[in-house]
Amino acid sequence: MKTLLRIDASARHRDSHSRELADYYEAGWRRRHEGGRVIRRDLALDPPPHLSQATIDAFGEPEGHCDDTALSDLLIDELRSADDVLISSPLYNMGPPSPLKAYLDHVVRSGHTFRFDADGATGLLAGKTACLVMARGGPVISEIADDFQTPQLRAILGYVGIAAVSVVNLHGTAAGRAHLGPQLDRARRQIDDILAGRALEWIGTFSEDDREQIGALRSGQAEAIAGGDAERYARLCADDVHLMIPGRDLVSGRADFLACERELLADAPLATFEKHPIRIERHGDLAVEVGRQRLAPKETTRCEVFMPLQKYTHVFRRTAEGWRFALLMSNSCE
C-alpha cells in the first residue's frame, strides 16, 4: 500500500491556487492507488515552531530523541513512511512561506535524513518522488531571479536523497481567476503527466523561465496543430527551422515550414495532438528533447505522416526572442 505525504503551505484555505492544484493531484493519486494512505500536514493550521536552542542542542545529542525533538521525530517519521511527497506552496516575498521553512528546519537533520562523512553529505530518503505545486502572483520575469523557493526546495529535497522532483508552477495568479484558464489547464495536464509517470527528465541547467518557455512551445505546438493554425505554429519556430518528417524532403526555413504545415494541416486535420516528452538535455543555447506524440486525425487520412504514435526529436534554440523550435523531427515508433 502506497503512502502520499501532502504538505500544504498557503496561509489561505479559501481561494488558494496551490491548494486547489494539490487537491487535483491528491484526487488523481488516490484514483491510481486504491487503498493508498494519505497523510496531510497543513502548515497553516499547524505551523511548526521556529527551531529553539533546546531543539538544536538535542539534535546534536547521539541519542537525539527527547521532548525537544518530539516534533522533528514525528515529521521525519511521516516523511520516511511516504512513497510520494506533495508540497503545495505559494511564493511569499520571493521565498517559501515561513512555516514551510520552519518545517524544513525540523526534517533536514543529520543522522536522520542525511549523513555527513568524509565523502560529504548523503541523503537518506532515496527512492521517493516529490512533486512541488507552486503558485505565485507575478509573471515570470526572465532576467530577474525572483523565485528562490523552487531552487531551494529542489536543493533541499536532493540533499536528503529525493532526486525525483517534479515541479508544477502556476504564475500570474494576481491577474485573477478569469485570466488563469489556460495556465490552470496546463498545470492540471502537467499533474496528469506526473501521476502517469510521464514526467520529463531535465538534464543540465534549466532556469524556471527556460522550463516555462519550452513548456509553452510544446503546448503552443499542440494547440496550433489541433487548431489547424499553421501561422501560430510557424511563430514558435526559429527563422532557420528544419523539419524532417517521413514522406517529405527536408524543409528548411520558416517560410517553407509555414507552406508545408499549411498543406499538411489542410490535407489531414487532427482532432488531437498530445505530446509526451521523455528527456531533454541542454547544450548551451540548444536543448535536445526526445519523446512520444500521439495523433488522432479528424477523419481517415491518406497522408502517411500521421501515424497514431510517433517518436520525436526536437531541438530548441535560444534566440534573441527566447526559446524556439530549431529542428522538428518525427518518425514511426515501429
Ligand X SMILES: Cc1cc2nc3c(=O)[nH]c(=O)nc-3n(C[C@H](O)[C@H](O)[C@H](O)COP(=O)(O)O)c2cc1C
Cα→Cα distances 282→66, 131, 315, 330, Å = 48, 22, 10, 20
Nearer to ligand X, 111 or 182 (CB): 182
Nearer to ligand X, 3 or 152 (CB): 152
Cα of 113 vs its chain's centroid, Å: 24
Q: Give the CA-trace dihedral at 203, 205, 209, 210, to 10 degrees.
A: -50
Nearer to ligand X, 17 or 112 (CB): 17
Please enumerate in sequence order all residues whose Cβ is within 8 A of that of 196, keeping only pairs 6 or more positions apart, or say none: none
Nearer to ligand X, 70 or 174 (CB): 174
Nearer to ligand X, 172 or 228 (CB): 172
- 94 touches ligand X (CB under 6 A): yes
Residue from 16, 55, 221, 330 touching ligand X (CB under 6 A): that is 16
- 93 touches ligand X (CB under 6 A): yes
- 255 touches ligand X (CB under 6 A): no
Mark residues 18-47: x for contact with ligand X by CB under 6 A, - for none: xx----------------------------
- Interacting span for ligand X (CB under 6 A) from 84-92, 103-111, 267-275, 313-321: 84-92
- Please, what is the end-to-end C-alpha distance for the chain in angstroms? 36
3-state SS, residue 252: strand
- 136 touches ligand X (CB under 6 A): yes
- 150 touches ligand X (CB under 6 A): no
Residue from 5, 58, 91, 187 touching ligand X (CB under 6 A): that is 91
Nearer to ligand X, 12 or 50 (CB): 12
Cα→Cα distances 5→42, 131, 140, 285, Å = 11, 10, 29, 38
- 12 touches ligand X (CB under 6 A): yes
Is residue 88 within 8 A of residue 5, CB to CB? The reply is no
Residue from 4, 10, 306, 326 touching ligand X (CB under 6 A): that is 10
Give the cell for residue 52: 529553539
Residue from 111, 137, 151, 182 touching ligand X (CB under 6 A): that is 137
Is residue 208 within 8 A of residue 169, CB to CB? The reply is yes
- Interacting span for ligand X (CB under 6 A) from 25-33, 77-85, 134-142, 317-325: 134-142
Alpha carbon distance 168, 135 (integer Å): 9
> Which of 15, 23, 27 lies closest to 173, judged by CA?
15
Nearer to ligand X, 58 or 135 (CB): 135
- 92 touches ligand X (CB under 6 A): yes
- At 103, give phi and psi (nearest 5°): -55, -45
Residues lying near ligand X in the complex (CB under 6 A) = 10, 12, 16-19, 90-94, 135-138, 173
